[in-house]
Amino acid sequence: MTDRYAVMGNPVDHSKSPEIHHMFARQTGEAIQYDRILVPLDGFEAAVRDFFADGGRGLNITVPFKEQAWALADRRAPRAERAGAVNTLYMADGELVGDNTDGTGLVRDLRVSHGVALAGRRVLLLGAGGAVRGLLPVLQGEAPAEVVIANRTVARAEALVELFADGGRLSAVAFDALRGPFDVVINGTSAGLSGELPPLPADLLAEGAACYDMVYGDGPTVFERWAQAHGAAVALDGLGMLVEQAAESFLLWRGVRPETAPVIAALRGD
């Protein structure tokens, strides 16, 4: 019997999730069907209810529905509870369970795939939107020495500091007040999608620093190119995060963790 899964979003036609999960299924011998579902902006709850009523087993949720998924879940994993967003849904004991695998995906890509330690490091997060909020609970669990959130509207960064203050040393700053050096810099802004970057000082990076862009494209992102030009030892895009968060969802649904490296290589055309 083939179990049904899907990604829901608006837009959703760009999603690589079906390709990723079908590669996972072939690798692990799991029998699944995984589709894209374009959901009307005012029809998310009905779409989710209908999917599970028709025998669907699990959903990935992408923009702009992650906060609605959080509200819809009957119970939430601790990392999703704190993140205020859900990207993975499934049924358990008659309840709709919500989880958030985004932060785990990024941290696993950094630490496991690329050997970038986070414990005891000074970490800078660029941006204060949903991507950064979803990352913070998992990042703080890695015990960095300090996390600084930089944002154009510093009040948004300060709101995250207040929300996550109990997780470790955390502060907010405006871009024009940034002072390095940082060991790890993670770009959680969407500016790079339009070819832009936040204003970053030239001395932002510590020696041997790692830079990570949460978005990805066909070639190096604007932030990756900036990092390489300013001496980063490691400059990565978010494709690994995409595959790792999908693997975490697959583990929740199927009880087996697929190997991510061959999937990442396939997506890059290696």
pLDDT in tens, 146-178: 999 999 999 999 999 999 998 889 999 999 999
- The answer to whether 128 touches 160, Cβ cutoff 8 Å, is yes
Report the domain count for the chain. Answer: 2
- In terms of domains, do 96 and 107 share one? no
- In terms of domains, do 192 and 121 share one? yes
- In terms of domains, do 231 and 188 share one? yes
Q: What is the pLDDT of residues 43-94, one digit of tens each?
A: 999 999 999 999 999 999 998 999 999 999 999 999 999 999 999 999 999 9
Q: Whose CA is closest to 110, among 191, 214, 23, 20?
A: 214
130 is in an annotated binding site: yes
98 is in an annotated binding site: no
Q: Please tell me the distance from the alpha carbon of residue 50 to that of residue 70, in angstroms, as a whole number.
A: 17
Provide the pLDDT for residue 130. 84
**Among residues 66, 82, 108, 121, which one is catalytic?**
66
Q: How confident is the model at residue 39 (pLDDT cuts 50, 70, 90)?
A: very high
151 is in an annotated binding site: yes
Query: 112 an active-site residue?
Result: no
Q: Which residues span the domain enclosing 10?
A: 3-100+242-268
Provide the pLDDT for residue 15. 93
Region of 215 (left: φ > 0; alpha: ψ -120 to 50; beta: rest) is beta
- In terms of domains, do 208 and 138 share one? yes
- In terms of domains, do 57 and 133 share one? no
- In terms of domains, do 110 and 178 share one? yes
Provide the pLDDT for residue 217. 83
Task: Kindly report the CATH number assigned to the domain that includes residue 95.
Answer: 3.40.50.10860
